[in-house]
Structure formats: structure tokens, C-alpha cells
Chains A and B, each alone.
Chain A
Amino acid sequence: GENVEQHPSTLSVQEGDSAVIKCTYSDSASNYFPWYKQELGKRPQLIIDIRSNVGEKKDQRIAVTLNKTAKHFSLHITETQPEDSAVYFCAAKDSGAGSYQLTFGKGTKLSVIP
């Protein structure tokens, strides 16, 4: 099955700086890569996703890049704000027949220091 590695596990940045979180996956057939943000005590919420036929996607201050050859994808947050502080999870969709199983990374705790 799919295996997703996520780095770093913790990340502290100054407000206004950029943050980058990286993930690698093992199954070359995976074709959908979402990123979820989870604030303390709350549910994970999708913030951006990318499909394997696209190399980059941007939504305001958030962007995701995908390198299918190297099997890695990254989340980029620019002009970070204190409200960006949360745990971020990357995931890859398992290519198993008939399944939408997502395999998640272990998460990155982002702290934005005012």
C-alpha cells in the first residue's frame, strides 16, 4: 500500500515569512494529493489539493507543487499569519481498485510567531 512521509514534524516561522512542508509518497500510481489543516481540537479541513496531471496549484497565499518523477509534493504558505498556526497533513490517494482511501503523513505543527 501507499506510504507517505512528511517533513518537518514541527516548524516555527516569524510572521510574514514563508513556510514550506514537504511530503514524499511511495505508490507511483497515486493521483490525488490533498492538504488538510487541523486547528487544535477541531476537524481537519481541506485547504488545497492537486491532481497528478498538474504540476502546481495556487490559492492566494497557499500553493502546492507536485513532482511525479521524484514522487514528492510540497505545501508553500507565503506571508504567514498567526492564524496559520495549526497542524498540516498531506495525503495521497491510494490507487487500489474502487477505493478512495487516503494515506496521511504524520503531520507538521506550524507555529507562526507574531
Chain B
Amino acid sequence: DSGVTQTPKHLITATGQRVTLRCSPRSGDLSVYWYQQSLDQGLQFLIQYYNGEERAKGNILERFSAQQFPDLHSELNLSSLELGDSALYFCASSARGGQGRHNEQFFGPGTRLTVL
């Protein structure tokens, strides 16, 4: 157990719908990262938050958005869902996020999203 929790574990929804994925980082970790893993694909970085602020943005669609709350948990919002959005969504956390330092990223168990 990495200490990172994600809910829900599974999510099945229809095209055009909107869903929210939730992530709680390890105690004390300030950075949260979101990744998308499609079938037979690697881990695609979506977005990073550090202590409530957006720090880096990757291949995140405009239909997707995220935020990190004062208690450091994070939510990933996916809207106008398409079949191609079906994937495993991972959240990871690390202790810091500032320039010049690097820290191990601990991954949560993931949320499997199925869009029908």
C-alpha cells in the first residue's frame, strides 16, 4: 500500500456524461500528479498540482480539468465523455514539487473508467 488512495475504483458511464475522480495523497505530500493509462499504452502525464497550484500540464484535453484543495486532496473532472476516454486513471503524489529537487512518485491504485 503506497498510502495514496483513489475513489472510486471502477466507474461505468455513458458518452456525453461528466465524472469526477478523487485522489488523496500520502500524508504530508504536497504534489499530486494525474496520469492516464489506456490499453496497451504507457502512462500519459496529464497534470501536476503542488500545494494547491497547478505546476505542470501535459497532454490533458480541454474537456478535462483538475484541482487540488486546501486539504491537498485532488479531483480530476472529465466531461463530455467519449468512448476513447475509457482508461485507467492514476494519481501519484510526492513530497515536494519545487524547482531543483526530485522526489519519488507514489502511485494510487487507479480508477478504471469505462465509457459505454
On A, residues with C-beta under 8 Å from B are 6, 31-32, 34, 36, 42-46, 49, 51, 89, 91, 93-94, 96-107
The count of chain B contact residues (Cβ–Cβ below 8 Å) is 29
B interface residues (Cβ-Cβ under 8 A, vs A)? 2, 31, 33, 41-45, 48, 50, 55-56, 58, 90, 94, 96-99, 101-110
Contact with A98, one of B90, B97, B107 (Cβ below 8 angstroms): B97
Is the beta-carbon distance between A99 and B56 smaller than 8 angstroms? yes
A106 to B, closest residue via Cβ? B42
**Is the CB–CB distance between B48 and A49 below 8 Å?**
no
Instruction: Rank and list the top 6 A-B pairs by shortest CB-CB distance, nearest first.
Output: A99-B56, A106-B42, A43-B107, A32-B102, A104-B43, A98-B99
CA gap between A43 and B110 in the complex, in Å = 7
- Are A43 and B2 interface neighbours, CB within 8 A? yes
Which A residues are CB-close (under 8 A) to B90? 43-44
Contact of A105 among B2, B33, B42, B55 (CB under 8 A): B42
Residue from A93, A105, A106 within 8 A of B102 (CB atoms): A93
In the complex, residue of chain B having the shortest beta-carbon distance to the beta carbon of A98: B99
Min CB–CB distance A47 → chain B (angstroms): 11
